[in-house]
Chain A
Amino acid sequence: MLCVNPLSIRGFPGMPTKTTTRIVGAPVPRKEGADKLLGRARYVDDIEREGMWFGATVRSTIPRGLIRSIEFDRSIDWNEFAVVTAADIPGENHIQLIVADQPCLADEQVNHCDEAILLIAHPDKHKVRAAVDAVRIEYDPLPPIFTIEESERQDQVILGADNLLKSFVLEKGDVDAAWKDAAHIVEGEYRTGAQEHLYIENNGVIAEWSAENGVTVWGSLQCPYYVHKTLIKVFDLPDDKVRVVQTETGGAFGGKEDYPSTLASHAALLAMKSGRPVKMVYDRMEDLAATTKRHPSRTRHRTALDKNGKLLAMEIDLATDGGAYSTLSSTVLSRATIHAPGPYVCPNVRVTAKAWATNTVPYGAFRGFGAPQSIFALERHMDEIAAAIGLDPIELRRRNFLHEGDTTATEQLMREPILLDQLLDRALRESDYYARREQFAKENATSLAKRGIGVATFFHGSGFTGSGERILNSLAGVDVMPDGTVRVLVSNTEFGQGTNTVLTQIAAEALGIDYDDIAMAAADTGVVPNSGPTVASRTVMVVGRLIERAGAQLLAMLREHAGLGATYTRDEFFAACERYRAQKGEPLSLVRYEPPPGIYWDDQRYHGEAYPCYAWAVHVAQVAVDTLTYSAEVEEFWSVQEVGRVLNPVLATGQIEGGIAQGIGYALYEKVVLQNGHMANNQMTNYIIPTAEDVPPIHVYFEQIPFSYGGYGAKGIGELPHDGPAPAIVNAIKDATGVSFHSIPLLPEDLFAVFVANQNVEEPAAP
């Protein structure tokens, strides 16, 4: 049974006075929904260009080595094909992200399996596939490394002087002095595996090149301006000679944040070489094998507590596997570092975090961006602590929650009310937690299925870390077309999460006109300003606020120059727009990002306001473990969260439910199997995500404390729900079986392995 419960808004001092809104807060239908339901929405593979060719990629079959030779089989008439190598790149052979160490095309050396070496295009998409197989590459292999441990040991140094992609140290108080005062010291090590986004639409782009117009790319992507940033460098072109347009995108989850820069460069190079438009759409096997995934992690906790179970010190050693190139490993590590100590008060903290290079496909952004890894470790460790010191895991958390007025591990003062206690109360009540726990404890003795219930309590920082937004310096706004359409001008993209709908709601609300009066301008770098990437759960909070301000600014302009009254009807609004146009030109209102006051962040010492605000949540999972098949299944799930103002309850609920489903997959179904650094299970048949039969009933409850600096009070919401399921589920498995698991994913064979190893400790017995 699922229920969308009525929302409750708690007031607090400084809350915006306008809590009554017409459109914001209403479950208006999805802006582009009709097209999607009619099958009319045009994803990149639905689009054809006159004279279009098809592109494909020849990829490395070894994880590390020098390219000795490239041979083209004579059975193919290569004159029919366009072939591109690194030598064809007009500008820099690098993908521009944070550190430009990833080549667009491998030149002399490859550093991971499936690294792109050569590109081929042909008018017949079947012939281009055959041609890929007709390219023979010989290598001089070098010894590869595949694990964090191998990279740390530096058996091979594959990057820089020491294989280290990035490191951070976050310190508060004096951890080393705290151990002697501890009544309890508890240690634990936790691991998370890689995870694939498995958006149902594979990566794809169409590119065109001409000497006069430069490069144009249409594609399935999250950040048109990120792609633009790479293309101008790869092609050595000025800003206005590169245009990137997002097409309707069938899911992304971070997997189309940075990878499209590579794919767009490839297709555009083929377009340049062939003189034709080139479409490159991956099939599922290639997308799984060759594109980014979530960073695997290893986290070691050492925790000191006093006799009352209050945290005295947390020493956390956090390591991620970044793959062969830097890509986004530093920012993922940053978020993982800040989230590692969690939503708890602790006077002494040290997080030592390192991202290591291995000869695997570079890892990248994925919903949560380091937080799921850290929160898995921490929330598992909290249950281990509770068991070790003889305290109820719920009580342990309560005694250590952050409250308004406390400081975090980065010494950020919590200036706004924190509802963790109330969220926990509600989660326990709605799930009937204690009654179920007691019931399962009784029934498990004589049941083949062992049931358990587990909890995770956590937060997720909204938006970019620290000075990130100031650096992005986003610009966004609204304008009014001659036909009266009001357009939202942002580079933020829709890929299912509701960007189009919510930004339209905000614009309509701010301007006092109807939802249907507004259109989203295409996410086209030739049309819209750079309002930053669609990542980090920033869109509604940061860009929504910009649109809210842009609307207010437009009204001010119309009042000053076109006689719009203090109150006005919809018709009067449009009449004023036309008077403005006659006198001053196009009504265009752009605003730039302004940081909230009092935000101070030290990038060197990792101190200060890490995030402008946090969303908070409690997850409860009921799990059944089948002691014959060793399969664990989530039977029911509860999620209570405080996410600022909920701008569209249907979309917000959908985000929570979808994120939880992915988190369930992360815990129980999704395993990336590497053989010699290549993903061996690169098909939907053997990389498993939850189906309609696997998702439990999910109960979602919202509390709202509007955030003053977010669009109509919104905080970020998209990534929060992926942080909690895995630890809640594995805590439930411990409750069900008495066995502690320290790593995910837990497929039946993984449960079986640990149960067998623990046979002396606890054997799940048949009745």
Chain B
Amino acid sequence: MSELWPTIRFTINGKSCAVQAPPMKRLLDVLREDLRLTGTKEGCGEGECGSCSVRLNGELVNSCLVPVLQAEGADLQTVEGLATNGVLHPLQKAFLEQGGAQCGICTPGMLMAAAQLIERNPHPSMAEIREGLAGNLCRCTGFMRIFESVIAAATQRDEAAAEKVADAR
């Protein structure tokens, strides 16, 4: 009875979108099934593992716990929106160089959490990195390479920002 379902409108990775879906359908399923954005993963379905993490109006959320109606009018960001025009986001580049991804299944959610972390806290301490990623489980890496990746990305952003300032002068 899909004619009875409401149309829910939001922007996803900068693009306007409209989906007809049961209002309580999980945002995770709308992303993966309706929009075929399969980068966001399901690991537990109960908000424990964070592999379904996306950003809703800039806030990191577990999309397995968000009914799609809550995304009405929202600005959504998923892993597919991190790279721009084929250029890797500094975090993606850092993960690649530092070994932050092994099996890769936690990686999209981990990247979203890390992106929020360094956007809000450009120079996070190790304790702040640990806390910022505490909602994202990884079973492969033991987290060490992930911490190194976040530090490397934060450092690189500092260097890029410094270059911009130097260029502007």
Contact = CB atoms under 8 A, between A and B. Distances in A.
Nearest to B102: A496
A719 to B, nearest CB: 14
Contacts of A197: 139
B39 to A, nearest CB: 2
Contact of B101 (A30, A253, A661, A692): A30
B68 interface: no
Contact of A46 (B38, B79, B82, B88): B38
Nearest to A699: B144
A43 B105 contact: yes
B137 A684 contact: yes
B105 A37 contact: no
B58 interface: no
A283 interface: yes
Nearest to A35: B104
Question: Which of A42, A691, A697 has most chain B Cβ within 10 Å?
Answer: A691
B143 to A, nearest CB: 5
Given A2-B147, A36-B101, A657-B145, A43 B41 contact: yes
A693 B126 CA distance: 10
Contacts of B136: 692
A248 B39 CA distance: 13
B139 A41 contact: no
Interface stretch (A88-96, A647-655, A702-710): A647-655
B83 interface: yes
Contact of B46 (A199, A653, A684): A684
Interface stretch (B2-10, B91-99, B154-162): B91-99
B46 A45 contact: no
Given A2-B147, A37-B88, A654 B102 contact: yes
Interface string A662-705: 10000000000000000000011100011111010110000000
A374 B46 CA distance: 35
Contacts of A37: 88, 92, 95-96, 101, 104, 107, 111
Contacts of A685: 46, 48
A534 interface: no
A660 B96 CA distance: 22
A758 to B, nearest CB: 32
Contacts of B80: 38-39
A199 B139 contact: yes
A693 B130 contact: yes
B148 interface: yes
A284 B146 CA distance: 24
A197 B137 CA distance: 13
Given A38-B39, A200-B137, A201-B41, A657 B104 contact: no
B107 A198 contact: no
B142 A30 contact: no
Contacts of A36: 101, 103-104, 107
Contacts of B46: 284, 683-685
B43 interface: yes
Chain B interface residue count: which class? 35 or more
| Interface of B, helix, strand, loop or mixed by DSSP | loop
Contacts of B83: 38
A495 interface: yes
Contacts of B141: 654, 657-658, 661
Nearest to B33: A48
| Interface of A, helix, strand, loop or mixed by DSSP | loop
B51 interface: yes
Contact of B106 (A200, A248, A683, A684): A200
Nearest to A494: B103
B66 to A, nearest CB: 18
Nearest to B104: A36
A250 B41 contact: yes
Given A33-B101, A495-B103, A497-B102, A200 B138 contact: yes
Contacts of A198: 139
A42 B140 contact: no
B96 to A, nearest CB: 5
Contacts of B23: none
A689 B39 contact: no
Contacts of A251: 102-103, 105, 139-140
B51 A200 contact: yes
Contacts of B144: 2, 653-654, 657, 695, 697-698
A34 to B, nearest CB: 7
B79 A38 contact: yes
A40 interface: yes
A36 B147 CA distance: 18
B105 A658 contact: no
Interface in B69-117: 78-80, 82-83, 88, 92, 95-99, 101-108, 111
A419 to B, nearest CB: 24
B131 interface: yes
A29 interface: yes
Contact of A662 (B101, B103, B131, B139): B139
A662 B134 CA distance: 16
B10 to A, nearest CB: 18
B139 A684 contact: no
B131 to A, nearest CB: 7
Contacts of B18: none
A265 interface: no
Contacts of B99: 27, 30, 650-651, 653-654
Contact of A250 (B32, B82, B105, B147): B105
A201 B52 CA distance: 12
Contact of B38 (A42, A283, A658, A692): A42
Nearest to A637: B142
B41 to A, nearest CB: 7
Interface in A318-345: none
A657 B142 contact: yes
Contact of B131 (A2, A32, A689, A693): A693
A249 interface: yes
Closest 10 CB pairs of A and B: A39-B39, A250-B105, A496-B103, A36-B104, A661-B142, A496-B102, A657-B142, A684-B48, A39-B79, A46-B38
24 contacts: A30-B96, A34-B96, A37-B96, A38-B80, A199-B105, A200-B49, A200-B138, A248-B104, A249-B103, A250-B103, A251-B105, A251-B139, A283-B45, A496-B103, A496-B104, A657-B143, A657-B145, A659-B142, A684-B43, A684-B44, A689-B139, A692-B130, A695-B143, A698-B142
Given A657-B141, A657-B143, 4 more contacts: A201-B105, A495-B103, A653-B145, A683-B46
Interface of B: 32, 37-46, 48-49, 51, 78-80, 82-83, 88, 92, 95-99, 101-108, 111, 129-131, 133-134, 136-148
